[in-house]
Amino acid sequence: MYSLAQHKLTPNFHHQICKNQPPLHLSQVYCSTTTSRSKPKPNAKSLVIESRPIQVLSTTITTNNQLSPMLSDPSLQSTWSHRAWVATGCTTLLISLGESIKGAMDLNMWVEPILAGWIGYILADLGSGIYHWAIDNYGDGSTPIVGPQIEAFQGHHKWPWTITKRQFANNLHALARAVTFAVLPIALVWHDPILEGFVGVCSGCIMFSQQFHAWAHGTKSRLPPLVVALQDAGVLVSRSQHGAHHRPPYNNNYCIVSGVWNEFLDKHKVFEAMEMVLYFKTGVRPRSWSEPASEWLEEIQTPSQVQAQAQAQ
């Protein structure tokens, strides 16, 4: 239903790891205070700057310190194959929605197809959340079929901002391909306006969910005003809601179409309940139980910061 291989870094990309570069050092800033009265300390309020080595930010520096490959890497660019799949997916959606409108006109029946489309929009958000939860928490790169998507989501948690640099067709092609295979037969065979209305809107929301997701990582000043208005109105998943997904404890706000299901699912701990059931049935622990979830810690440096740091060394 929902296939995302966009964030996976190409082998070539990994091979650009700065073989000759020492590990980067990031600075962490802590503000520490004490309320002890018995042993007052001269620097009770102190700013402690601690430098510690962390994992090499291997994907942002080339061996010759050129512009970060994060921005120039071909894995972020659209290919003609990507564009062709997006065009095919959009054609599929137009056929499905066109069939729905044609059937509605022939039967003079509008309420039911519109209602079906609205239900499709609501359920697409739920589907995006369930799928996102599943691949965030279970399996790995070797998992059949969805392995690349699991790796991709791990990469997205590490470098969330790269999604804003990814070109449109590059970001959507995997979903467009899935929609084409799943929906085109339905669109061509069934001519029920209600079914076509549901399928067309639901699959359309799923196909474009990666674009909604990318917008949720954008900044308000750089997003189109209409997108900001739709986010603020709750039609599209909001920046604040999805931002919470990228902060500890990394186990909430999984839905990325409208986000309308997030509050309900998180308030009632639906995913936590599903994790418990799976754990007692299979013994498999979800990734979100791991503390700390180091693989989900975001590398906060931007390419320009890394490049500047590399040149200073």
Choose the binding region for Zn ion from 2-10, 135-143, 177-185, 274-282 (rule: CB under 5 A).
135-143
User: Taking CB under 5 A as the criterion, which residues in 89-128 touch Zn ion?
Assistant: none
Judged by CB under 5 A, which stretch of 6-14, 49-57, 130-138, 278-286 contacts Zn ion? 130-138
Of residues 273-302, which lie at the interface with Zn ion (CB under 5 A)? Answer: none
- Find the shortest distance in angstroms from Cβ 217 to Zn ion: 6
Shortest Cβ distance from residue 163 to Zn ion (Å)?
6
Closest to Zn ion by CB, 198 vs 212, is: 212
Rounded CA-CA distance 13/1 in Å is 28
Q: Minimum Å distance from CB 189 to Zn ion?
A: 35
Q: Which is nearer to Zn ion, 113 or 160 (CB)?
A: 160
Question: CB of residue 289 vs Zn ion: minimum separation in angstroms?
Answer: 15
What Cα–Cα distance (Å) separates residue 127 from each residue in 40, 120, 228, 256?
55, 10, 23, 9
Minimal CB distance to Zn ion: which residue?
136
> Toward Zn ion, which CB reaches closer, 177 or 287?
287
**Residue 196 touches Zn ion, criterion: CB under 5 A:** no
Nearer to Zn ion, 177 or 213 (CB): 213
Using CB under 5 A, which of the segments 99-107, 131-139, 183-191, 284-292 binds Zn ion?
A: 131-139
How many whole angstroms separate alpha carbon 296 and alpha carbon 257? 22
In whole angstroms, give the CA distance from residue 176 to residue 75.
17
- Number of chain residues interacting with Zn ion (CB under 5 A): 1
Beta-strand runs (E) in the chain: 25-32, 46-53
3-state secondary structure of 291: coil
Cβ(164)–Cβ(217) under 8 Å?
yes
φ/ψ of residue 278, rounded to 5:
-65, -40
CB of 256 to Zn ion, least distance (A): 7
By CB under 5 A, tell whether 136 contacts Zn ion: yes
Nearer to Zn ion, 138 or 190 (CB): 138
Asked if 214 and 163 touch (Cβ cutoff 8 Å), the reply is yes
Q: Name 169's Cβ contacts closer than 8 Å, sequence gap at least 6.
A: 78, 79, 82, 83, 85, 86
Residues 226 and 6: their CA atoms lie apart, in Å, by 25
User: Which of 86, 152 has the CB closer to Zn ion?
Assistant: 152
For residue 157, the minimal CB distance to Zn ion (Å) is 6
Closest distance to Zn ion from the beta carbon of 220 (Å):
16
CB neighbours (10 Å) of residue 226? 9
CB closer to Zn ion out of 125 and 136: 136
Which tokens sit at 114? 């519109």
Q: Give the pair of three-digit tokens for residue 93.
A: 């959606």
Residue 26 pairs in a beta bridge with 52
Binding site for Zn ion (CB under 5 A): 136
